[in-house]
């Protein structure tokens, strides 16, 4: 039982694990464990230190890809709040690791647009196809898309800067932290 990223190809599924004495991570909860815990994470029951069970020193988020979050206090009085902190850590990890991955739906739209614009620039095969060949319209279309893309990028950077560092923004841009900062600092 875990958090699953919507992109099936991402291989990102997050889990809460208990950190046992000695700093060892407990095994991930199974579906049966969560059923016994009334649909919640079983760490709050299995590792609460009662009835001879070990008491967790902390909890952490982990991901199927191998990432491990930082250890936090295991709050047995409000496990849902503790788990929410870990879910946000995991989501942050997923967003950083997928910063340069274009979602399949968006890639499909990009491919379709590229095919349409390049199709307008192809040489006319016959006088009957002159309406399909419109290189001047293709130039205008490319300019409009470039301007839109710049506006979308500025909006995305402003939004990202609320939760992410310049290093993370630079990662998504495929540039250096300094270049990202110089380019977008005035648009924040």
Domain that residue 128 falls in:
104-187
Residue 9 has pLDDT above 90, yes or no: no
Q: For residue 10, what pLDDT is reported?
A: 65
Residues 79 and 8 in one domain: yes
Residues 65 and 118 in one domain: no
Per the model's pLDDT, the better-predicted residue between 122 and 18 turns out to be: 18
Chain segment 124-140, per-residue pLDDT in tens: 666 776 667 788 899 99
Q: For residue 185, what pLDDT is reported?
A: 92
Per the model's pLDDT, the better-predicted residue between 42 and 165 turns out to be: 165
Residue 3: pLDDT band by 50, 70, 90 thresholds? confident
**Residue where a domain terminates, one of 47, 68, 97:** 97
Q: For residue 40, what pLDDT is reported?
A: 61
Residue 161 has pLDDT above 90, yes or no: yes
What does the DSSP 8-state code read for residue 41?
A: -
**Residue where a domain terminates, one of 81, 97, 113:** 97
Share above pLDDT 70 across residues of the chain, in percent, rounded to a whole number: 87
Each as own residue / partner, the long-range contacts of residues 85-89 (CB below 8 Å, 24 or more positions apart, any chain) are 86/14, 86/16, 86/59, 86/60, 86/61, 87/3, 87/14, 87/61, 89/61
Residues 76 and 158 in one domain: no
Q: In the predicted model, what is the mean pLDDT of the chain?
A: 88
Handedness of CA 114, 140, 148, 183 (dihedral sign): positive
Residue 93 has pLDDT above 80, yes or no: yes
Residue 38 has pLDDT above 90, yes or no: no
The SS3 call for residue 55 is strand
Mean pLDDT of the 159-167 span:
95
**Residue where a domain terminates, one of 45, 65, 97:** 97
């Amino acid at each position: 039982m875990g958090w699953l990223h919507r992109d099936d190809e991402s291989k990102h599924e997050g889990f809460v694990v208990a950190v046992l004495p000695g700093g060892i991570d407990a095994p991930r909860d199974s579906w049966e464990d969560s059923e016994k815990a009334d649909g919640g994470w079983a760490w709050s029951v299995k590792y609460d230190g009662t009835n001879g069970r070990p008491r967790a020193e902390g909890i952490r988020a982990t991901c199927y890809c191998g990432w491990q979050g930082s250890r936090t206090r295991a709050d047995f009085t409000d496990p849902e709040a503790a788990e929410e902190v870990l879910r946000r850590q995991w989501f942050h990890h997923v967003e950083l690791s997928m910063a340069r991955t274009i979602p399949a739906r968006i890639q499909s739209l990009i491919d379709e647009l590229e095919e349409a614009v390049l199709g307008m620039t192809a040489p006319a095969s016959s006088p009957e196809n002159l309406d399909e060949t419109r290189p001047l319209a293709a130039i205008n279309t490319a300019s409009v898309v470039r301007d839109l893309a710049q506006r979308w990028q500025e909006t995305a950077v402003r939004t990202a800067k609320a939760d992410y560092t310049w290093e993370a923004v630079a990662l998504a841009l495929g540039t250096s932290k300094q270049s990202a900062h110089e380019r977008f600092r005035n648009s924040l």
